[in-house]
């Protein structure tokens, strides 16, 4: 993933590095994933949602209000 987003950043130029940009977030997440894995609560929540057949985009994270 890091290689793909790095290529996209090179293609899009400096504008892709803005904090509000999706490419910047993807690059940061891809670069930090090997060193900082998600905590067990987030992993169990995602796993449970998928096992129940729920759409992850429609499920609120734990302790987050609408």
Residue spans per domain, the chain: 2-32
Between CA 2 and CA 30 the distance in angstroms is 5
Across the 66 residues of the chain, what is the mean pLDDT of every consecutive 10-residue run? 72 73 75 75 84 81 62
Output the pLDDT for position 59.
Answer: 75
Can you give the pTM of this predicted structure?
A: 0.40
Output the pLDDT for position 63.
Answer: 62
Output the pLDDT for position 62.
Answer: 61
């Amino acid at each position: 993933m890091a290689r793909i987003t790095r290529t996209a950043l090179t293609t899009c130029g400096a504008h892709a590095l803005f904090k509000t940009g999706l490419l910047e977030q993807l690059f940061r997440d891809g670069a930090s994933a090997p060193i900082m894995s998600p905590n067990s609560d987030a992993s169990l929540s995602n796993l449970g949602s998928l096992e129940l057949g729920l759409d992850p985009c429609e499920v609120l994270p734990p302790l987050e209000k609408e």
